[in-house]
Structure 1
Amino acid sequence: MARVVAFELSSQDPKKAAEFYSKVFNWKIAAPNYDYWPVTTGDDGSTGINGGISLGPIEYPQGTRIQIEVESIDDAIEKALESGAELVRGKMEFDEFYLAYLEDPVGLGFGLIQKK
């Protein structure tokens, strides 16, 4: 079973968004990396998930997406496409994980993430 492991808030002004969430909810916002500001929403021992704030790309300029961790990103992409999803951004490689963005058949955006 795949689990939701993070969220991503896309914004055209991520610095302003980071300031807002830090002030209102006391979230810890780390320095940006690849136009992505990692967000810690609580202690590791508490319930909830962490995420990030990103500079929204053209295809998703603002909004919220969940990140779903899968064992095989290639298999999950294939299964999602066969089930009516559309690929927004194909498999991307980062230092510690692979990431892809899709839209489900009703237009909801989500990310798939596979740890290396």
Structure 2
Amino acid sequence: MNRVVGFEISSREPELTTKFFEDVFGWDIGEPNYEYWPVVTGKGANVVSGGIAKGPEDHPHGTRIRIEVDSIDETLAIAKVKGAEVVREKMEFDTFYLAYLKEPTGIDIGLIEQK
């Protein structure tokens, strides 16, 4: 089953956004990597991880869920047939692949595939 594994908040001013969530909600926010600040919320079994990123032009502000899939390529192929728009093709990082799509009503979704 493809499950939600995290979230990503996009902001054109990520330093200000990270400070806000840290001060208001007490989130544990790590050092940035690739203009992405890792976030840990909650404690113990209630941890939800995500991040705050410098929002690109096509998604400057907003929140996306990330869904872990077995194959980004297969998932994107099915999503396109079902009316989705690919916002970012599959990108490679050290330990995972990442892609973004917009489902038919306009909701942005991140896809993550572990290496």
Quick check: TM above 0.5? Answer: yes
Amino acid of the structure 2 residue aligned with 1:98: Y
> What is the rounded CA distance, in whole Å, between the counterparts of 1:49 and 1:77 in structure 2?
25
**Match of 1:38?**
38
Amino acid of the structure 1 residue aligned with 2:4: V
Identity %: 55
- Provide the secondary structure at the position in 2 that maps to 1:46: helix
**Match of 1:49?**
48
Taking the TM superposition and a 5 Å limit, the aligned residue runs for 1:1-116 are 1-43=1-43, 45-116=44-115
The alignment's C-alpha RMSD in Å is: 0.8
| Structure 2 unmatched ranges of 5 or more | none
Q: TM-score, normalised by structure 1?
A: 0.96
Amino acid of the structure 2 residue aligned with 1:79: I
Deviation string, structure 1 residues 38-85 (Cα, Å, up to 9, x no partner): 001023x32252100000001000000000000111111111111110
Q: How many residues align?
A: 115
> What is the rounded CA distance, in whole Å, between the counterparts of 2:13 and 2:68 in structure 1?
27
Shift of 1:28: 0.6
> What is the rounded CA distance, in whole Å, between the counterparts of 1:29 and 1:54 in structure 2?
12
Amino acid of the structure 2 residue aligned with 1:42: G
| Structure 1 unmatched ranges of 5 or more | none
Task: Indicate if the aligned counterparts of 2:7 and 2:51 stay in contact, CA closer than 8 A.
Answer: yes
> What is the rounded CA distance, in whole Å, between the counterparts of 2:69 and 2:77 in structure 1?
12
- Provide the secondary structure at the position in 2 that maps to 1:89: strand
